[in-house]
Chain A
């Protein structure tokens, strides 16, 4: 954490984007949502594993778009990234840990 001690008054320098850029991001997110629903409708033909893989990749892309560009986390002060990404990783750990424990796989959790 020591690197955050620098009294850098310009740490909060935003990447400023044009309005057009936000419209573009919005359009991309809308397309991703449409694709998500589309593959949901054809999931029986592409198989469950492939469906889940595509769905997760698309959702992560969508979430990352919101966080990086709408919330401006990309290019914002590192302390904001820290106080969001650390609990996010903790949350992923919580979710995967609980799902593993409650999976009742013999030898792992039951």
Chain B
């Protein structure tokens, strides 16, 4: 690929004013791209932590009757592994990539609410740090990420771990809702002229659907965890059957959120796949509307299937039949997507780049996870398999084989846009194959031990149950998997330094983010583009193949390095971007400190001094939040587009 070597000179009005403190431009940033990168990096750190927890558990389970971990530590690790991977890894990683890419894809200069966006990232980090602080303060949460009552009641889970879980996830939950509102308004209301809803890239579509799922699903989880907090702190007994509460109510409230959560994890990744497959097949996506609307369909159906997680509870036959049927119906829109992806590749000019390999890996592994999911939707089969390793195999095939392989595809695809350098393809392909093989070594045997009856959530097992060999193989697979992640880290670090310099459009892609320098300047577009089709960049490059109904390019890409000239970047100084502000960070810091105080407000540790300290933390938190709100209002007036019209 012909690459211009000239370094890009992009002047950003926001960073230019920051003087000699480059860290300020990150900590006080409201730029969606920087916020996206903070999300991505911190989610990756949590990915490593969650992975270490998984490896410790696999060492414990590698041999029967192992004493490497105690039962209590094991419980903490499996709770934190799932909580980390779901709330601190896949969700924020999706949000991070979405934050970076969505405004670029729709031709916007930033998210609709840049300061709210900054609030989301710092609240997410505050919540994640609060969760991990629990390891140092007497024990991490140990009731499972599903937190089934009454195990989470204070008499069965006496450490403060579950309180950390409730408040930590409460903070990340506020971050998620704020972020989702931001995405909804951005996608609906910040599109460039001509970027109508039915021309939006499918990744944008899926982010819109997921944002609606988030704002509709999280409230029940919030209510459930508030009630759990009242149980633990004030003896309310919502979920304590011994005192008239109802343990099953927790499960309903949790899974009414928990099942849509599964789609929150997978749909953005499906959106990424829907961007990557057409580019590397040199064909437009097959059945755009079907892919888009099957995503909407999955979103709706996701709200009426929650109790299929609860067939083991013993609901009535009518309830079981309804939730089984509804769950099986979800296979239809999911299958529509899979067939559309395959049809996109069919007869395409397929280029097997690492991103493409990961996308194909996503499809193949997700099909396995999807099929085991359909078996679990049937109550008689589910009653046999529930709480066995078969379920663990299923959920890892959809969450690791699905979400995480898809995220790697996205990482290889957008890394050049975010950093200006390409990841090493050769190392990437080696890593892909190692990861695919070790993933299957780790998780496929779980189907077998699961059907042989090995229960999940146990910290050890007897020898001679027929599970020994498979468990050892799984543990070996985990180490290979960890090694493949290390290769990825090496690839990122070496490519950041010495990687091939990326042109604006290294993949010959079709969407707007590839029209800009890599990485784009803080204001993104010098001129807001006008969009005429679903594939604006392909149309520009291949005018003879333009139009929604024609096939995309088949000739070799013309490698043009689009650059903003000095003259143009000079003109960019007139683009008004919101100023740096610490208010969002102070706000979320205040909420985090107050949450920490709230955990200990009614705990009998060290008596009165603890409560005084807890109260002090809450007061400090409130003061910080008040300061932040004042600063926020002043900032919003300073940057108000109403006022900039009249300066």
Contacts and interface: CB of A to CB of B under 8 A. Distances in A.
Direct touch of chains A and B (CB < 8 A): yes
Contacts of B634: none
B123 to A, nearest CB: 22
A5 B198 contact: yes
A101 B296 CA distance: 26
A105 B317 CA distance: 11
Interface stretch (A35-43, A49-57, A90-98): A90-98
B197 A5 contact: yes
**Most A C-beta atoms less than 10 A away, residue of B220, B307, B318:** B318
B315 A101 contact: yes
A93 B305 CA distance: 12
Given A4-B197, A87-B216, A107 B317 contact: yes
Given A108-B316, A109-B316, A102 B197 contact: no
A106 B216 contact: no
A64 interface: no
B162 to A, nearest CB: 24
A86 B193 CA distance: 27
B3 interface: no
Contacts of B216: 86-87, 90
A48 interface: no
B541 interface: no
B220 A94 contact: yes
Interface residues of A, number: 23
A107 B193 contact: no
A107 B321 CA distance: 11
A1 interface: yes
A93 B319 contact: no
Main secondary structure of the interface of B (DSSP, over half): helix
B122 interface: no
Contact of B318 (A2, A90, A93, A108): A108
B303 A90 contact: yes
A30 interface: no
Contacts of B615: none
A86 B216 CA distance: 9
Interface string B3-29: 000000000000000000000000000
B178 to A, nearest CB: 16
A67 interface: no
Contacts of A79: 188
Interface in A1-31: 1-2, 4-5, 7
A87 B184 CA distance: 14
Interface in A69-110: 79, 83, 86-87, 90, 93-94, 97-98, 100-102, 105-110
Contacts of B215: 87
A83 B319 CA distance: 29
Nearest to B317: A107
A109 B296 CA distance: 29
Contacts of B198: 2, 5
B323 to A, nearest CB: 10
B493 to A, nearest CB: 42
Contacts of B193: 7
A79 B191 CA distance: 15
Contacts of B246: 102
Nearest to A97: B304
A22 to B, nearest CB: 27
Contacts of B319: 100-101, 108-109
A93 to B, nearest CB: 7
Given A90-B216, A102-B249, A109 B256 contact: no
Interface in B192-224: 193, 196-198, 212, 215-216, 220
B188 A110 contact: no
B429 interface: no
A65 to B, nearest CB: 25
B316 A110 contact: yes
Contact of A107 (B296, B303, B318): B318
Given A2-B197, A79-B188, A94 B316 contact: no
3 nearest CB pairs, A to B: A5-B196, A5-B197, A108-B318
Given A90-B216, A109-B318, 6 more contacts: A2-B198, A83-B184, A101-B307, A107-B317, A108-B316, A109-B319
Interface of A: 1-2, 4-5, 7, 79, 83, 86-87, 90, 93-94, 97-98, 100-102, 105-110
25 contacts: A1-B296, A2-B198, A4-B188, A4-B197, A5-B197, A7-B193, A87-B215, A90-B216, A90-B303, A94-B220, A97-B304, A100-B319, A101-B252, A101-B307, A101-B315, A102-B246, A106-B316, A107-B316, A108-B316, A108-B319, A109-B315, A109-B316, A109-B318, A109-B319, A110-B315
